[in-house]
Structure 1
Amino acid sequence: MGNPADETVTSALQLGCDGVRPPGSALYSLLGRLRSALRSPLHARTVWQLRQQIEHQTSLIRQLETDLVRAEIFERASAAARMGVWQCELPSEQLTWSNGSYDLFGFQRGSEVARSEVLKSYSEESLYRLQRVRSNAIETGSGFALEAEIRPPGVEKRWIRISAAVERRNGEPIRLFGIKQDITEERKALDGMRYLAEHDAMTGLANRTQFQNRLAEVCELGGPGGALMLIDLDGFKRVNDTLGHAVGDECLIEFARRLSVVCQSAELIARIGGDEFAALFGPATDLQRIESIAQRLSTAAQEPMNCSGRVFRVGASIGFAFTEEETPTALFARADHALYAAKAAIGATVFRGSSHQPPD
């Protein structure tokens, strides 16, 4: 049986002599030392040292293979998660992206991408916010997180979340780096929940919560100029009692449609109760305009309703008040008073709240 040390040396030499290129210049150096060693008598210590170096290089190669596998796994996982790693050198603005970042913006993987081209994908508002927080991060050295809307060429609009950190050297920023992640589905889910929280499920109009919030905003601005209109359906209870709630629901939906058409200039149209509706108009609304809208709405409400094959008529009582420097409660009370005055007046469907006049 041969000497194991000799066999190790011979195997290493055979690897080089067969023309197989070992990875790394260190192994070439090692093979050179092996050839030199074989030209002289072999000592046990020399063979042991050579074997240790071979084992060390083998360990490095295995570690490199492991790192490469891990990098490949990360690339695949991040792409599957619709996220990517990015780096931007300063001040050259040279970009380095992982595959996931290329995919987010619709660029070919591995291609050279100029930051100026990437910025064209951002919506105007998102680009403004990105430039502002990015400049602040570079100046202060702090990172930032930002949700932005992008519209890559040939790709549907999407939302991304950008997380960034700043690397500094001797007090100077040298690069930005971080992660970009597709959050389009997350935004859609949030928008859906927000819509349900702010809109009436039956008619699709704003609900009472959104109406109250907007009314408070209008009153916070102060001063005259806008108008609040309240509408109540006449004869709706009779529809529910005689034709059923299903027909009543169809009636509400149809009236909401007519209301939206007539009051399309309103800033907000809402269903605030069972058969109660409201419309908020902006500062450009004057008395003549609001009365014209109210009259047209009254006429539209009295047009025949055809719901589930049943034809019937309803009416609408309308009251309105112009905004002044007052609380939302006070403004609503004035419009509500006008509404009930319209209901009480024989043959009247429109009534203006209080004696306050809109501005000239």
Structure 2
Amino acid sequence: MRRREPLGEGGAAEIQRLRLQLRIQAAVIAAQQVEARFREERFERATQAARMGLWECDLRTEALRWSGGVYDLFGLPRDRPPDRRSTLNQYVPTSRSRLTSVRAQAITDGTGFTLDSEIVTPAGQHRWIRLTATVDRQDGVPVRLFGMKQDVTDDLLLLERTRRLAECDSLTDLANRAGFEARLRDPVAALLLIDLDGFKAVNDTHGHQAGDQCLRETARRLRLTCRKGDLLARLGGDEFAVVVERPVSPEAAALYAQGIIDALCRPVDGDGRRFPIGASVGIALSGPAPLDLYACADAALYAAKAAGRGTFRLFDAAADPPIRSAGITGARAAG
């Protein structure tokens, strides 16, 4: 057996130096681990406060990885690995369809996307999330999607409230002129302009409170009479409008107008009094040639008022003369 030579002073010092270096390295590693945990906890708190989280999807296996914030957004326990199929089922049908389409296009093009989608948590709570995604490629092949998901429910609700305040009539809760004009920028089938008959007399004789009561009752009756999907608006004073979404024939538009007149011609009861009001309606139908529907409906309304009120007139650019009423089949028209 070979005898071990005792270390000299130089060898012992080298060992001491190496031990000290190892202890320093261990302390540095421990400090880095503490710092990493601190940064991770700080990031988790920050994302939780911002109601957001990070996510990624392996496109080869469809496996998902989420940060804690995404689990919280979807209302799922953090100890259960996320499953893409069940996660997709939390999106409402329209959002799910849109997400599937945008995601597929992004993978094909290799571009990212940002999309607002509506989800439903297991507890039945509806939330809007803003999803951002980036495509990661290897050798030109998409292999990963990653990005961020953030709860934007409150932001969108505030935006909707702001929009409603800007486009809603506070007295009747119908669309106001701004909302009406915004809708008319897109194609519509027809426009009905309504002017209350006898409103000025009620307002002048019984005061603005009685006038406001008549306006609110008019809005209520219009909601009951008009078709679902058509935009109802108060344009100001005693003028209302119905924007017709689906195509209608002149005969159907005339019947629609007559139904509105019948609904609005009944007196309004309030505070033990009866306020007699009625309505005149001007109709304009869209056609192959571009028309200023508002100007056409306004001309028809003017003709209806001139014909004795309580009736309608229809502007049809294809007819001669363009403003008519009595020849419309099945409609009762005065004048």
Question: Would the TM-score normalized by the shorter structure come out above 0.5?
Answer: yes
Q: CA deviation at 1:328?
A: 4.1
Distance 2:20 2:63 in 1: 45
**Amino acid of the structure 2 residue aligned with 1:320:** I
Letter matched to residue 206 of structure 1 = A
Name the structure 1 match of 2:195: 232
Aligned residue number for residue 36 of structure 1: none
Shift of 1:40: 5.6
3-state SS in 2 of match to 1:217: coil
Query: Which residue does the alignment assign to 2:176?
Result: 207
Q: Matches of 2:143 and 2:248 in 1, distance apart? A: 55
1:322 and 2:285 equivalent?
A: yes
1:299 maps to: 262
* Between 301-310 and 70-79, the greater mean CA deviation after superposition: 301-310
Match of 1:93 in 2: 62
Shift of the alpha carbon at 1:276? 0.6
Q: Which amino acid is 2:269 matched to? A: N
Quick one: distance in 2 between partners of 1:265 and 1:61? 67
Whole-Å Cα distance in 1 between the matches of residues 185 and 38 of structure 2?
59
Q: Does structure 1 conserve the Cα–Cα contact (< 8 Å) formed by 2:52 and 2:149? A: yes
Question: Are 1:169 and 2:132 an aligned pair?
Answer: no
2:81 corresponding residue in structure 1: 112
Aligned to 1:53: 22
Higher helix share: 1
Q: Which amino acid aligns with 1:242?
A: T
In structure 1, stretches of 5+ residues that fail to align are: 1-38, 220-225
8 Å CA contact retained: 1:99, 1:110: no
The offset of 1:308, in angstroms, is 4.2
| Separation of aligned partners in 1, 2:230 and 2:27 | 73
Structure 1 length-normalised TM: 0.79
Q: Percent identity?
A: 43
Tell me the SS of whatever aligns to 2:196: strand
Task: Report whether the alignment pairs 1:351 with 2:313.
Answer: yes
Tell whether 2:268 aligns with 1:268.
no
TM-score (structure 2 length as normaliser) = 0.85
The aligned amino acid for 1:63 is Q
* Equivalence for 2:103: 134
Aligned to 1:338: 300
* 1:252-267 alignment runs, 5 A limit: 252-264=215-227, 267=230
CA distance in structure 1 between the aligned counterparts of 2:244 and 2:163, rounded to whole angstroms:
23
User: Larger Cα Rg: Structure 1 or Structure 2?
Assistant: 1
Q: CA offsets per residue over residues 165-202 of structure 1, 9 Å max, x none? A: 22223333332221111000011011112222222222
Match of 1:124 in 2: 93
CA distance in 1, matches of 2:253, 2:136: 60
The offset of 1:214, in angstroms, is: 3.1
Residue identity in the other structure for 1:202: L
Q: Distance in 2 between matches of 1:186 and 1:144?
A: 20
Q: Which amino acid aligns with 2:71?
A: Y
Structure 1 stretches of 4+ with a deviation exceeding 6 A read: 357-360
Contact 1:87 1:95 survives alignment (8 Å): yes
Mapped contact 1:160–1:184 kept (Cα < 8 A): yes
1:242-278 deviation per Cα after TM superposition (whole angstroms, max 9, x unaligned):
2221221121111111122122256222212211111
**Aligned-partner Cα distance in 2 for 1:137–1:338:** 51
SS of the aligned residue for 1:218 comes to coil
Query: How far apart, CA to CA, are the structure 1 residues paired with 2:116 and 2:202?
Result: 49
Q: Which of 144, 152, 158 in structure 2 is aligned with 1:189?
A: 158
Write the letter of the residue equivalent to 1:130: L
Secondary structure class of the residue paired with 1:128: helix
Q: What is the Cα deviation at residue 309 of structure 1?
A: 4.3
Aligned residues: 316
SS across alignment from 1:230: strand
Match of 2:276 among 306, 313, 323: 313
Partners of 1:184 and 1:259 in 2: CA distance: 32
Structure 1 residues 141 and 338, CA gap change in structure 2 (3 angstroms): closer
CA contact (8 A) 2:177 2:234 kept: yes
Q: Measure the CA separation in 2 of the matches of 1:266 and 1:102.
A: 37
Quick one: distance in 1 between partners of 2:272 and 2:232? Answer: 28
State the Cα RMSD in Å: 2.6
| 1:158–1:254 CA distance, 2 compared to 1 (3 A) | same
- 2:127 — aligned with what? 158
- Shift in CA distance, 290/79, structure 1 to aligned 2, threshold 3 Å: same
Quickly say closer, same or farther: Cα 1:348–1:52, change in 2 above 3 A. Answer: closer
Amino acid at match of 1:168: R
How has the CA–CA distance of structure 1 residues 359 and 307 changed in structure 2, closer, same or farther, with 3 Å as cutoff?
closer
| Cα 1:238–1:129 shift into 2, 3 Å | same
